[in-house]
Amino acid sequence: MAGIYVHVPFCKQKCTYCDFASYSREIGKAEAYFACLLKEIDSRALELKEKTFNTIYLGGGTPSFVKAEFIGATINRIKKVFSVTSDAEITIEINPGTLDEQKLAIYKAVGINRFSIGLQSAYDERLCSLNRIHTAEQFLYACSLLKGENISVDVMIGLKDQKIEEVKATIDLAIKGGANHISVYALTPEEGTPMFTTYLNGELPSEDETTELYDFARDYLSTLGFERYEVSNFAKKGFYSKHNLNYWRRGEYIGLGVAASSCIDDRRFTNTEKIDEYVHCLLNDKYAEIFSELIEGDEIKNEYIMLAMRTSEGIILSDYTKNFGSDFLIDYKREISDNQKYLDVCDYSVKIKDDYLYVQNQIIINFMKD
């Protein structure tokens, strides 16, 4: 099974921390963009006709900002030309303040069955300072439209002067909205964003302070019946994101649209971030790839380990053997022994102990081969 990712690079306004390929003054290009997206979908589907896909994910940007007809046409085309399973998980990212009943009716009619909402904080002053377009009340309104649907909510930690009370209030609001999946992301200050100045001024919490917020979120979510299945992702039983699990299991995925990345048959490739360049290439019957590489040898194993160790299941020994034809416990005997204090090792898997999952990078690095 494999995943399909579609990038929608339009936003109403730019959040202060955002360095994604998302543009606030380009909505006039949406029609041309989606026409080109359909061309890319058709061409890639022809190339990948042997493969079956069980997830579709519309991310951005803000997919819910553009006309729902564009989204409907995109999903319908994907389903028509790709081999997509009938029970596929189909997710759309939603920004509160951009959803209404008419849009939702179109999303549901084309089979979208998972809604990922960017909340970030329950505090309106915070949302305003991040230049988010919505309030906490608008979040609840979007959730009221989505009542009974499969809802995931993003929560942000590591913000200036952020206290545990804010994280708790945000999780509580997400639950009130009906979330059965919550992602808790630590802010990464990216160069070139307004938030980077805040970071340079030393106004963001230290790593230890952010870890404290994370530990609170993890423990609190656990008391609410949410399982941590990946370092930043928590869900009620049965609501793990299939699309993301495919990434972490190093499954294949095709990325469509501006800035989208793909990994198919161990070739990794990425499209241009520029809307004009993307449109120009597709209109001239070319892909808009700006990067491509073949992943080989130890790099494949490194990637596999790096991704799997982020999950609470860790390395599943039988899966490793199926992929690489050898025994993980033998291949990494020395690394396992050197890091045993951080690891749970059993007949089924090798995983990072719960208390160390948030600082997994320092452990995973010891398993990387040159």
- Residue 286's nearest CA partner among 294, 277, 295 is 277
* CA distance linking residue 84 with residue 91, whole number of Å: 14
Question: In what order do the strands lie in the sheet containing 151-157?
Answer: 227-230, 233-235, 181-186, 151-157, 114-120, 83-94, 52-60, 2-8, 252-256, 261-264, 267-271, 289-294
Number of residue whose CB is nearest ligand SF4: 18
- When the beta carbons of 24 and 270 are compared against ligand SF4, the nearer one is 24
Task: Pick the stretch among 59-67, 217-225, 236-244, 285-293 that binds ligand SF4 (CB under 6 A).
Answer: 59-67
> Least distance to ligand SF4 from the beta carbon of 69, Å?
21
User: Interface with ligand SF4 includes 60 (CB under 6 A)?
Assistant: yes
93 DSSP β-pair partners: 116
CA pair distance 351, 344, nearest whole angstrom: 5
Pick from 95, 98, 241, 244 the residue near ligand SF4 by CB under 6 A.
95
Closest approach of ligand SF4 to the CB of residue 31, in Å? 20
Residues 6 or more apart whose CB falls under 8 angstroms from that of 211 comprise 358, 359
Lookup: tokens for 141: 């309104």
- In this complex, which beta carbon is closest to ligand SF4, that of residue 188 or of residue 362? 188
**Among 26-34, 56-64, 187-195, 343-351, which window interacts with ligand SF4 (CB under 6 A)?**
56-64
Closest CA to 149 of 115, 120, 116, 199: 115
Residue 61 interacting with ligand SF4 (CB under 6 A)? yes
18-26, 35-43, 162-170, 172-180 -> range binding ligand SF4 (CB under 6 A): 18-26
Q: Using an 8 Å Cβ cutoff, are 339 and 345 in contact?
A: no
- Choose one: 8-16, 49-57, 253-261, 328-336; the region binding ligand SF4 (CB under 6 A): 8-16
Q: Which is nearer to ligand SF4, 118 or 314 (CB)?
A: 118
Contact flag: residue 210 with ligand SF4 (CB under 6 A): no
d(CA 3, CA 249): 12
Smallest gap, in angstroms, from Cβ of residue 305 to ligand SF4? 30
Please, which residue, 29 or 79, has the CB nearer to ligand SF4? Answer: 29
User: Minimum CB separation from ligand SF4 for residue 22, in Å?
Assistant: 4
Question: Is the Cβ–Cβ distance between 120 and 155 less than 8 Å?
Answer: yes
The percent helix, strand, coil of the chain (3-state, each to 5) is: 45, 25, 35
Stretch that binds ligand SF4, among 13-21, 272-280, 317-325, 328-336 (CB under 6 A): 13-21
- CB-wise, 63 or 314, nearer to ligand SF4? 63
**Span from 11-19, 36-44, 240-248, 334-342 in contact with ligand SF4 (CB under 6 A):** 11-19
15, 112, 171, 316: which one binds ligand SF4 (CB under 6 A): 15
Site size for ligand SF4 (CB under 6 A) = 11
In degrees and rounded to multiples of 5, residue 194 shows phi and psi of -55, -35
Going by their DSSP bridges, the two strands 52-60 and 83-94 should be labelled as parallel
Q: Is 62 in the site for ligand SF4 (CB under 6 A)?
A: yes
Instruction: List beta partners, residue 235.
Output: 181, 227
Quote the CA–CA distance of 344 and 22 in Å, as a whole number. Answer: 40
Within positions 105 to 134, which residues make up the interface with ligand SF4, using CB under 6 A? 118
Residue 27 binds to ligand SF4 (criterion: CB under 6 A): no
Contact residues for ligand SF4, defined by CB under 6 A: 11, 14-15, 18, 20, 22, 60-62, 95, 118
